[in-house]
Amino acid sequence: MGHGKMSWESLLETQAPAECFLKAALFTTYDRADERFVVEHLLPLFLKLGHEHDGESAERQYFLLELDRRLQEIHDRIVIVSSTAREEPRASDDRNERPGATYDWIWRSIRHLTVGSARKAVQHSKLWLLHWGSADEDTDEYLEIVISSANLTRPAFQSQLQAGWRACIALQPQRSENRLAKWGVLPAFLEELGKSAGEPQRVRAFTELLARVECPKDTTFLASVPGIYSRKELHRRPWGAAGLARIVPAGKSMTTISVISPYVGWWTLSSLRRWCAEAGGSPNRLELVWIDKDHAWTKYWCLPRSTAELLMKSKGSIRRYTNESGERVGFHEEHRAEDPRWCHAKLYHLRRGNSRRLLVTSANFSTAAWGNEGRKGVCVIENFELGVCIPVGPDDWPFDNLECFENPNDIATVAVVPSQSSNLIAWANATWDGKTIRIDCRCAQVSALSGELRAGSHRVPVKTWRQIPGSSVSTAKVAYTGSWEPPFAMDLKCRNEHISVPIFDERSQGEREMTLPPEVDAELAQLLRDQLLFEQYGGRIALEDPDTDIPDADGGLADGEIEGADDKNGSTSRSHDSYVVPSFELARQHFEIVNNWAARLEKSSGANSEAWEREWLRRDGELLLDAFKRKFKADGIKNSSIALPSRLAAEELAVRLKYFPEA
């Protein structure tokens, strides 16, 4: 869904122009992101990788090195914020705690943050902010925004139906406070999210991007931020249910609200009345779309029996998610009835007269998400939630004509709602500068807190914790000057609770480059990296095992393997003159790589480019120079004639680097 147009499509796509490249990204998710999903599905799409994770032999290693290279290029510019507390019951298709542990190494370059650095908080929003750059100075940069119900896990995309909203908007050269104000509560939500994660500066960069794009017309954002609020505070900043008044259709009649939410919390009559009143309605104008007790989704959906009884007692409607024939109702005309996925979407349809609006959100129908007001008018919100509301037409809500349950015993309910755990270790963050690992955490019982560094087979215990003055956070430092070895994490334990904290790599770029992803053959790594670098700037790459002479895709030998070159015994199968044409062709290929690098450098002088991009291009030039030198040496062993183009390319690069334009 985007700009009010309903569609049936995959969330795993982008609306950014094909020539754009990812410069930065912010993702929020509930549980810790599934590394396997991130590496094998999310990152290949947005980083536009050219190799396959499930390829054989060398192709697999090319994929890992290409991914590592792209992550190093935008090191510390991808941020993923999650929560460890759980509100919803864990579904049976999502029970693997760490299904992607073999990819733990990505957290060296991706900031993995959790909320709760100052107080208890649950991160339940599902937001993607993607900053797309352009190599062409005349082409716009873009900010792509996705708000949905999807977590960063494989089940979320393979076995669940989600709802989402997407917009891809051209960035203006200059920021504007007026533009920023039009985004409503979204900038303030990002600020609070960053504070709770203990890294506000990491998130503010994305808030600044909002100041450079126009908010889509007729779009209103709704958000929840954990905290305790007075009515006066909620009037100034309408978190949770207080924001409903800003999205209801205009008019004087009562609002009818239809809800689809796989998790419904425990409500009282007073809290339900207050929630409905914020939206200009009442409990008897509330409709909940739900399933019967024999439905296949009963192991995923949760409705307390007491809440179902309350809805029916207050004259609200619980509508059966089937048509007259007992078949499931499609969410869209392209939705197949036999679709095996279960619905994880959270949708709120508001109707007043002929006006209709649809809220696409991460918020379940619970007081944890929307807030619970006590007797003194103080509202308690537990979760970070985010939604977007847009106008829709009468045909965009397919559940208007569902029948109500006649027999309450047919409704799928549970007697007890799983309680949200209260973690002893509420928040943690770890970094490494090559000499010292710093670990910060907020723990309810510091006296019972222990920690241990895991670096491959090495184990280094945390000896002393120190309380940060004026804070509930404790900190410790562990000396470590060894190499990065998987798994590289800080294990924290408090009584019977245990968490593993990824360690972000803050070493210099040169030191990080020396660290290889697991599975990559160290003896072949340099050759593979050189070939990937040539490929990035227009060269060819061998797709088979790099230590064998394999024909390339065009039927010829891999770049540099000229037919008739000297064999190991020094014999030659063709005359020296026969190398003239191949040498010219190799020179053309090599100089095309140099020229492509130079063209990228020239385009990086535009206003849209940042200092880190130019610095990375300089480093690429240095790496290309070294790669051509190695190629010259390797080709010279076979035949000096085919080695000359590599030497000439290296000399040309050396000159260009000498006069590298400074910013």
φ, ψ for residue 649, nearest 5 deg: -65, -40
The answer on 354 and 227 residing in a single domain is yes
Is 26 inside any structural domain? yes
The pLDDT of residue 605 is: 76
What residue type is 298 in one-letter code?
T
Name the helix (H) or strand (E) containing 662: none
The answer on 173 and 71 residing in a single domain is yes
Residue 432 to residue 434: CA distance in whole angstroms: 6
From 256, 228, 255, select the one nearest 240 (Cα to Cα). Answer: 228
The answer on 140 and 32 residing in a single domain is yes
Is 14 inside any structural domain? no
The pLDDT of residue 334 is: 83
Is 261 inside any structural domain? yes
Residues of the chain with pLDDT under 50: 85-89, 94-99, 542-577, 579
CB 371 within 8 A of CB 265: no
Q: CA gyration radius for the chain? A: 29
Percent above pLDDT 70 for the chain: 89
Q: What is the mean pLDDT of the chain?
A: 89
Is 405 inside any structural domain? yes
Tell me which residue range forms the domain holding 651.
521-658
The answer on 204 and 114 residing in a single domain is yes
CB 370 within 8 A of CB 225: no
Residue 89 to residue 273: CA distance in whole angstroms: 26
How open is the CA angle 281-287-289, to the nearest 5 degrees?
150
The answer on 359 and 446 residing in a single domain is no
The answer on 455 and 340 residing in a single domain is no
The answer on 457 and 501 residing in a single domain is yes
Is 13 inside any structural domain? no
Is 204 inside any structural domain? yes
The answer on 476 and 358 residing in a single domain is no
The answer on 497 and 400 residing in a single domain is no
Looking at 354, 381, 410, which one is the last position of a domain? 410
φ, ψ for residue 134, nearest 5 deg: -135, 135
Looking at 509, 540, 575, which one is the last position of a domain? 509
The answer on 483 and 354 residing in a single domain is no
Name the helix (H) or strand (E) containing 381: strand 379-381
The answer on 315 and 287 residing in a single domain is yes
Residue 452 to residue 459: CA distance in whole angstroms: 6
pTM across the whole model: 0.91
Q: How many residues does the chain have?
A: 663
φ, ψ for residue 333, nearest 5 deg: -60, -20
Is 534 inside any structural domain? yes
Strand partners, 504: 431
Is 126 inside any structural domain? yes
Q: Domains in the chain: how many in total?
A: 3
The set of residues, in sequence order, having a beta carbon less than 8 Å from that of 559 and lying 6+ positions away, is 534, 539, 540, 541, 542, 552, 586, 589
Looking at 509, 539, 564, which one is the last position of a domain? 509
> What pLDDT, in 10s, does the model give residues 52-108?
999 888 999 999 999 999 999 999 999 999 997 444 445 555 444 444 558 999 999
How open is the CA angle 318-320-325, to the nearest 5 degrees?
155
The answer on 504 and 526 residing in a single domain is no
Query: What sign results for the dihedral spanned by CA atoms 621, 624, 628, 629?
Result: positive
